[in-house]
Amino acid sequence: MTRSRRLAAAVSVLAMAATGLVSAAVIGVTPAIADHCVPGESTPSPSPSAQQRNRNQPDQNQQPDQEQQPDQQQPDQGQQQDQGQPQDQGQQGTDQQQDADQQAPQGGGAAILDPGASPTPEGDGQTQAPEGDDQAQAPEEEQDASTFSRRGRPTRTATPTPTQSDNPEEQPSGTASPSPTGGGNGEEEACADLGPFPEDFIDIRQVPPRQLGARIGRGGSRGTFVSRCGRNENRHNNPDNFIVAPGVSNGAHHLHDYVGNLSTDAFSTDESLAAAGTTCRLGDKSTYFWPVLRDRRSDQNANDPDGNVGQVLTARAVQLQFRGNATSRVVAMPRFLRLITGDAKAATNGGANARAAWSCTGFQNRIATDKYPLCPRGSLVLRILDFPSCWDGQNTDSANHRTHVVFPGENGACPQGTRAIPQLRMTLAYSVPQGQSFALDAFPEQKHNPVTDHADFANVMPDRLMRFVVDCINRGRRC
């Protein structure tokens, strides 16, 4: 009997040991979620169990994840609220969008449409634009240029698409979110050299208020036209730039988002662009493109030789607005005009051509030019990209892609010998990860510096549409 008990005890001990080995093996092969190059991550990452505890604790003035659902019902939430709103689904909700726009005060949304203005409309003249439009070729739905609501969330897109699933609606934090990886010193050292860095971020509330652009004078052109082209729901991306590096695959060394022309790549020509389809309404075959923004917590694209790592974030709203000149009327852009704004190498070239402008919905009078903004809960990150608009009257391009069209002076007037054309302003709104965990794609040596933000445009509008754009702007209409 005693021998039987001893045998049973030995079997029990062996069983427990085997169970422990199996558990250890299971734990050992659990895949780690990589957290690549999040600024401020200089210490070993917490274990998964510690992460779970951290997520359930409202430290650093952050609300628990469980509280985000009620917050989505607040007026200026821009995260998950849009997913359930039919007016955010392009043509499917056109009538609802138009009704909502007509019910809003005429100054509504000016803080978003004119990011340089204060959140309260300042009477910039746009409220004087008559809403009636006698141009037969323009659909009624194009009369209101608003892409965003007064509360700061997007209200329109060109076509329906699943929205991003990230949930960043948290207070700005000086440190990054806890890293779910167990990366060692080698990874930390590699990431430490990639950028962006903690000093590349700023709480938007610490940015002094200022106006973006000159005020429109008595002789200026106050109207606007918005080309509605979607948010790149069809995932048209490539690392090319046919304007700066024609015929060179991966000439940009970073990924671009494209809207408008469906064929744009390194080998695009005037003829190929004119023959292609478009995501824009009213037959606008122009191509609009900009470097993507990434969630740097993700390990997607981890082996990219240029260091552009992370999940691409699709903009929650894109507004492509053509504006007037502060001191004069505008003339038509020539077809196939090529424009660039900003400098993709501004971090090393200096700021002479830098045009980055970062803000947050609800804080559009605060513009950061060399910092990524950390936005308050419920606020979207904004990229505001103004293009040059003083044309030499002859050329559609130039050797440096800049001298044929330059920027107006500080008073908004075009330099002598140039003519004002409609000024393109791209406003891109993003729901980004919490903390310092997002960055632009960039050339490797630029370290993802926010000052390198830039964008490109080629005009492939039909002549009839361009005439309509000019008429809207010069007559003070919103189209």
DSSP structural state of residue 445: G
Q: What average pLDDT score do residues 196-205 get?
A: 97
Worst-scoring range by mean pLDDT, 30-34, 379-383, 460-464?
Answer: 30-34
- The three-state secondary structure class of 441 is coil
Residue 226: name the closest of 126, 128, 316, 134 by CA.
126
Residue 456: name the closest of 343, 290, 258 by CA.
290
Q: What average pLDDT score do residues 450-479 get?
A: 98
pLDDT at 151 over 50: no
What is the SS3 string spanning 34-102? CCCCCCCCCCCCCCHHHHHHHHCCCCCCCCCHHHHHHHCCCCCCCCCHHHHCHHHCHHHHHHHHHHHHH
DSSP structural state of residue 457: E
Worst-scoring range by mean pLDDT, 33-42, 234-243, 250-259?
Answer: 33-42
CA 335 to chain centre: 27
Share of the chain above pLDDT 70, in %: 60
Q: What is the pLDDT of residue 281?
A: 98
Q: What is the pLDDT of residue 213?
A: 82
Query: Dihedral, CA atoms, 232, 238, 244, 248, nearest 10 degrees?
Result: -160
| Tens digits of residue pLDDT in 302-331 | 988 889 999 999 999 999 999 999 999 999
Q: Name the pLDDT band for 418 (thresholds 50, 70, 90).
A: very high
* 263: its two tokens: 């064929």
Q: What is the pLDDT of residue 36?
A: 52
Q: What is the pLDDT of residue 37?
A: 59
DSSP characters over 381-440: EEEEEEPP-EE-SS-S--TTSSTTEE---TTSPPPTT-EE-PEEEEEEEE---SSS-EEE
Residue 232: name the closest of 341, 139, 308, 313 by CA.
313
Q: What average pLDDT score do residues 39-49 get?
A: 43
Choice between 450 and 62, residue whose per-residue pLDDT is larger: 450
Q: What is the pLDDT of residue 9?
A: 54
Q: What is the pLDDT of residue 214?
A: 85
Average pLDDT, the chain: 74
Q: Name the pLDDT band for 438 (thresholds 50, 70, 90).
A: very high
Q: What is the pLDDT of residue 294?
A: 97
pLDDT at 24 over 80: no
Worst-scoring range by mean pLDDT, 158-167, 321-330, 338-347?
Answer: 158-167
pLDDT at 164 over 50: no
β-bridge partners, 312: 294
Most confident of 92-96, 189-193, 301-305: 301-305
Q: What is the pLDDT of residue 45?
A: 38
* 31: its two tokens: 């895949």
Q: What is the pLDDT of residue 22?
A: 37
Interatomic CA distance for residues 350 and 229, integer angstroms: 33
Worst-scoring range by mean pLDDT, 44-58, 309-323, 351-365?
Answer: 44-58
357 CB contacts (<8 Å, ≥6 apart)?
A: 115, 212, 367, 368, 369, 383, 384, 385, 386, 453
β-bridge partners, 423: 323
Q: What is the pLDDT of residue 157?
A: 36
Q: What is the pLDDT of residue 194?
A: 82
Contact between 372 and 200 (Cβ < 8 Å): yes
pLDDT at 231 over 50: yes
CB-count burial class (<10 Å; 0-12, 13-18, 19+) for 286: buried
Q: What average pLDDT score do residues 153-180 get?
A: 37
The span from the first CA to the last CA of the chain, in angstroms, equals: 96
DSSP structural state of residue 454: E
Where are the chain's structural domains? 102-161+189-474
Share of the chain above pLDDT 90, in %: 55
Interatomic CA distance for residues 259 and 319, integer angstroms: 11
Q: What is the pLDDT of residue 171?
A: 42
The radius of gyration computed from the CA coordinates of the chain, to the nearest angstrom, equals 25
Q: What average pLDDT score do residues 26-51 get?
A: 41
Q: What is the pLDDT of residue 260?
A: 99
Whether the pTM exceeds 0.85: the reply is no
Residue 376: name the closest of 359, 390, 391, 393 by CA.
359
Residue 436: name the closest of 38, 36, 37 by CA.
38
Q: Name the pLDDT band for 212 (thresholds 50, 70, 90).
A: confident
Q: Name the pLDDT band for 247 (thresholds 50, 70, 90).
A: very high
Q: Which residue has 């700005």 as its token pair?
A: 172
pLDDT at 51 over 90: no
